[in-house]
């Protein structure tokens, strides 16, 4: 079982993406405010996860990503299925023993020399987590954001103004320091899949606003967009239609980089 699946063993109660960040790159996490009297039933269903892993060894060669679909029942059992990964996907994996407290803190079966903090947000469609493997020779940490899947989606769910936070890294096995960076953007999206993205802040100089088209969303919440032949991405919308998570990969020779992005929708 690869490291991303070890994160997903009990933590992967969802549907998700994972990005590994390393070499001193800091990912600021945000604190979710749990709703009162949460129950394990709030976790039941299919959700989506974004993970960011930073090896304690600070080695860029350990970078990687993963995107999974996880189905969880209200008894804390479920199944995690790898959709895409920087490592070969493992077969679907069954898990059990997940629980949630009245304060929204989620826990699972203990693991040797492993620590995890995980909490559900007030809307009960997002979970954030921080995972640490402290085993000698395998020291790494992982940031996770998990979003729950809605019953259905339509193109109208795309429409609105979205803010996005993006962390860029080299892909696993590559060590180009120029590929570490960040972007903070505003995206205006229409229900026909057209829109404009505007840079607010970036580790590189901001480009002018850029128009785009061809974005679509499936009934299952999977978002697609035009890509170049050597590019790939996984992107999904959450249950309340106000958050999206994405992992992008540029696989062209000499330009192997990836980007982890969270989008949040602006209130009306």
The pLDDT confidence band at residue 141, using thresholds 50, 70 and 90, is: confident
Q: Which two tokens stand for residue 217?
A: 């969303």
Span 202-236, pLDDT tens digits = 999 999 999 999 999 999 899 999 999 999 888 99
Report the pLDDT value the prediction gives residue 62, as an integer from 0 to 100. Answer: 55
For the chain, what is the mean pLDDT? 76
Asked if residues 47 and 102 have their Cβ atoms less than 8 Å apart, the reply is no
Asked if residues 247 and 65 have their Cβ atoms less than 8 Å apart, the reply is yes
Q: Which two tokens stand for residue 154?
A: 């339509």
Least confident of 40-44, 144-148, 167-171: 40-44
Span 20-78, pLDDT tens digits = 221 222 222 233 333 433 344 444 455 444 454 443 333 445 567 778 777 888 888 88
Residue with tokens 């609105």: 160
Does this model's pTM top 0.85? My answer is no
Domains and CATH numbers, the chain: 3-148 (2.40.128), 155-265 (2.40.128.20)
Residue 177 phi/psi, 5° resolution? -65, -20
- What pairing do the DSSP bridges indicate for beta strands 181-189 and 195-202? antiparallel
Average pLDDT over residues 175-186: 85
Three-state DSSP at 150 gives coil
Q: Which two tokens stand for residue 27?
A: 């990912």
Span 69-104, pLDDT tens digits = 778 888 888 888 888 887 788 899 998 998 999 999
């Amino acid at each position: 079982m690869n490291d991303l699946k070890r994160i997903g063993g009990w933590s992967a109660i969802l549907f998700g993406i994972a990005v590994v960040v390393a070499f001193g790159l800091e990912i600021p996490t945000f604190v979710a405010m749990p709703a009162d009297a949460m129950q394990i039933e709030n976790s039941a269903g299919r959700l989506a996860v974004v993970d960011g892993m930073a090896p304690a060894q600070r080695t860029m060669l350990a970078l990687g990503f993963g995107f999974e679909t996880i189905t969880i029942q209200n008894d804390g059992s479920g199944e995690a299925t790898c959709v895409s990964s920087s490592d070969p996907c493992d077969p679907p994996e069954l898990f059990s023993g997940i629980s949630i407290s009245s304060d929204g803190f989620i826990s699972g079966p203990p693991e040797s020399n492993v620590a995890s903090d995980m909490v559900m947000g007030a809307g009960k469609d997002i979970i954030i987590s921080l995972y640490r493997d402290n085993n000698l020779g395998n020291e790494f940490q992982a940031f996770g954001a998990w979003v729950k899947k809605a019953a259905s989606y339509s193109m109208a769910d795309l429409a609105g103004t979205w803010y996005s936070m993006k962390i860029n890294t080299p892909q696993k096995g590559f060590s180009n320091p120029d590929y570490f960076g960040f972007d903070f953007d505003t995206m205006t999206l229409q229900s026909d899949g057209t829109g404009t993205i505007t840079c607010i802040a970036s580790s590189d100089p901001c480009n002018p606003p850029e128009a785009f088209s061809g974005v679509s969303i499936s009934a299952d919440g999977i978002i697609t967009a035009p890509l170049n032949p050597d590019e790939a991405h996984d992107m999904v919308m959450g249950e309340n239609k106000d958050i999206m998570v994405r992992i992008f990969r540029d696989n062209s020779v000499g330009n192997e980089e990836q980007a982890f992005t969270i989008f949040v929708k602006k209130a009306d």
